[in-house]
Amino acid sequence: MSPPVRLQVKALPNAGRDEVVGWHAGALKVRARAPALEGRANAALAEFLADHLGLPRRNVTLVSGEKSRQKSFVITGLDEAELRRRLPAA
């Protein structure tokens, strides 16, 4: 089993659709339709990342940035190389 990978995300809540925009300053920029209210955008981002990476939701955990646009997720079940392969090029 591979060690957990930390993924830095710049969240853009209240977007027209959920989508990965690309990489910016070492963080994955992601648009989320959910509003930044009561953790809804955080839950939606974790769900979206899990779906996008082909992982169960339980493998994507928010570890910092709960009330910030700069967030850090821990991803389990993939190594760093596989995670990068499943995301758009930097």
Phi/psi of residue 51, nearest 5 degrees: -60, -45
The tens digit of pLDDT for each residue in 40-86 reads 899 999 999 999 999 999 999 999 999 999 999 999 999 999 998 99
The domain at 5-86 falls in which architecture?
2-Layer Sandwich (3.30)
- The 10s digit of each residue's pLDDT in 10-46 is 999 999 999 999 999 999 999 999 988 888 899 999 9
User: Which sequence spans correspond to the domains of the chain?
Assistant: 5-86
User: Which pLDDT score is estimated for 73?
Assistant: 98
- Please give the pLDDT value at position 90: 53
In angstroms, the CA 73 to CA 45 distance is: 10
Q: How far, in Å, CA of 76 to CA of 73, rounded?
A: 10
